[in-house]
Amino acid sequence: MDRTRALIVVLAVTVVLGMWESAQAQEPDEPELEVPEVAVIGEKPVAASSQQFIPDKEIVLQPQGRPAQVLRLIPGMLAVEHSGGAGKADQYFLRGFDADHGTDVAFFSDGMPINLRTHAHGQGYSDLNFIIPETIEGIDAAKGAYLPEIGDFATAGSINFRTRQVVQEGVAQATGGQFDTQRYLLMFSPTKGKVKTLFAAENYYTNGPFDHDNRYLRTNVLGKLTTSFTGRDEFSLKTTFEKAKWNASGEIPLRAVSDGLIDRFGAIDPTEGGSTLRTTGVMHYHYDTTTNGQFFANAYGQYYRLDLFTDFTFFLNNPVDGDGIKQSDRRVMSGGEVGYKQRWEFFGIPTVGTVGMQARVDDIHPRLGTQTKRTSTGTITDSHVLEASYAPYIKGEAQPASWIRFVGGLRWETFTFNVRNLCTTCALQPAGRTSSGMLLPKMSMILGPWAKTEFFVNYGEGFHSNDARSVVQVGGVPLARSRSYEVGLRSRPWGPEGLEMTLTAWRIDLQSELVFSGDEGTTEINGPSRRQGFEVAARGQIWGPLYVNGSFTWTQAKFRNGDAIPLAPEFTAYGAAILRWPEGMTSQLQATYLGVRPLVEDRSIKSPSWIVFDWTQRYRLPIKLPYGQVEAFYFIQNLFNTDWEQATFAFESRLKTEPAGVTDIHFVPGNPRTFMGGVAWHF
């Protein structure tokens, strides 16, 4: 470990010296020249075999409604509904982590963090429903903790949704389907020249397949402007607005379904649900110098609120009024990044150095209370939290020879936690202030290509922050360190346009584990853990119009004492076959598989495995209308009408007719076969 840190320090010093040398070489009176905009299309170099970019042409083939469904395009990643109502954040699986709502996966939208710290419902809560899928240009996916520019929550990996600057043709789209589902989309670019603009609006409604209608209504709006002031720079400003409300059927006990008390789509407490609102603003600016340097600055701000009504244990704690809880979150989040990147030759070696500084502040009002049929009956905790982080980092990339490349860096994290209690009569009154910091080294080595194959070796340390309310208590762990190791290969044996194949073996050691606690509806901190496994993936053109995308992952996830990590998947798989017909038609058949998972530490209770198939058909009509072209499409989800379970847990609950609590499986049923279809006018 000391050798690794020493090597990274040497690389960091080299980066700083090289950037200083390049700055000294610049002529002080050298005039700046405006150059015309040039589009350069190429594949961005990656630092690990598991790192990849998901293009928009695959994203638009996913069924509409839940933006998180596009995540299954990333090898080894799945997202499932968590509460029988699509309004809240999904449950995410990646590299043996049941990351709950995002604790160990870092999500970003154009660089703006999506994970919410010290959230009322769960640490790192990441609701992706404010994203309009058609606005996504692509998804940057990175596993492990090997990138110095990525910090909090990037334990299993990080996901960045990149939005378009402009669309060459507008689209007005209407979609309808079973369960009163409707979706309307409008997206166009008012200007496409030096000033590029993008506007998109979405309205979505569904009752879902449940006995008690979801009445899920979501509205999204996006506006984006991109321009250049000098010809050497780029400025962009993006704003989004989301508002949603829904009812939910919750996680239902298996015994209630087996005994005929309710069916698969019934509810014990049909008053669950919630509402949310989110407004965001993101600014990006970069300036390219005449000496191969780039100055960049980014800033973001967000206002967010959530009111969530849930009932996990029914009548276990309160046999009369029930165990319903209300979780409320109000926050303002702001932050940004400033830095400088320089390209130069250091003693004849092509080198890129980056220094940057990131900061983030969350001003949070989280509250937990009891409720019955959405009427508040008491307060459990009520806090004001001011949480801030500051992270300078340095990154270096060097290529001493055509067959070897190094990428590495250092990141220093500093967190401050300030919790103030707002409820003097509550049984739980977390309060206090503390701070914590850690140094995180990162290093990657890339060898090749030989025979159109590259080999990767990676090491990196990452972390996830913990809830500030538990951090300020005695024994709280502010920052849980992870260590990631990875070796892999990436090959294109049939050329750059053919099939790309990857093979990766990895290990993650985590200092502190967050485990779901059904009794409280929250999470609790457990001991250290180890996950290890491998993943294989392939994507690209097989022959003519046939494209494939598939992956298989195996994971072993254990606490260091040998206990199983509840909810951690062992096997996952995804496969898709895409036919792009020359007549403007595209067909896709895809399958998603989630293997058996232990639901408790001793493995005595397990969730069943499942596999579901989806079918997609899109057809751009060859007839050119005076003002555009028409496209017809449809989706069939769960093509073979399989009975399957989404979020699944094992904990103790009590029904109204039961004398005592019963430990049982609780689950959210997966949707039955569902049809959606529509038309889009491209103008």
Digit-coded pLDDT (tens) for 143-154: 999 999 999 999
pLDDT number for residue 523: 52
pLDDT number for residue 526: 73
Measured at the alpha carbon of residue 650, what is the angle toward residues 383 and 608, in degrees to the nearest 5?
135
Cis peptide before 209 (omega within 30 of 0): no
Half-sphere exposure of 551 (CA within 13 A, CB side): 26
Does the pLDDT value for residue 666 go beyond 80? yes
Strand 479-491 to strand 453-465: parallel, antiparallel, or no bridges (unpaired)? Answer: antiparallel
Reduced 3-state DSSP string for 142-180:
EECCCCCCCCCCCCCEEEEEEECCCCCCCEEEEEEECCC
Please, is 228 exposed, middle or buried when counting C-beta atoms within 10 Å of its C-beta (0-12, 13-18, 19+)? middle
pTM over 0.85: yes
Cα distance between residue 440 and residue 392, in whole Å: 11
- Comparing 33 with 520, which gets the higher pLDDT? 520
Closest CA to 314 of 605, 566, 664: 664
Instruction: Return the percentage of the chain with pLDDT > 70, whole number.
Output: 92
Cα distance between residue 89 and residue 647, in whole Å: 12
pLDDT number for residue 379: 95
> Is 586 in a helix, a strand, or coil?
strand
Closest CA to 518 of 267, 251, 328: 251
pLDDT number for residue 520: 56
pLDDT per position as a tens digit, 430-467? 999 999 999 999 999 999 999 999 999 999 999 999 99
pLDDT per position as a tens digit, 165-220? 999 999 999 999 999 999 999 999 999 999 999 999 999 999 999 999 999 999 99
Cα distance between residue 364 and residue 385, in whole Å: 5
| Residues whose CB is less than 8 angstroms from the CB of residue 316 and which lie 6 or more positions away in sequence, other chains included | 323, 519, 652, 653, 654, 661
Cα distance between residue 68 and residue 78, in whole Å: 9
pLDDT per position as a tens digit, 471-515? 998 778 899 999 999 999 999 998 877 899 999 999 999 987 655
pLDDT number for residue 640: 98
Cα distance between residue 576 and residue 288, in whole Å: 40
Domains of the chain: 51-682 (2.40.170.20)
As a whole number, mean pLDDT of residues 277-301 equals: 98
pLDDT number for residue 624: 78
Least confident range of 101-115, 273-287, 507-521: 507-521
Does the pLDDT value for residue 23 go beyond 80? no
Task: Quote the tokens at residue 596.
Answer: 């058996």
pLDDT number for residue 495: 81
As a whole number, mean pLDDT of residues 604-615 equals: 97
- Cα torsion 470, 475, 478, 480: sign: negative
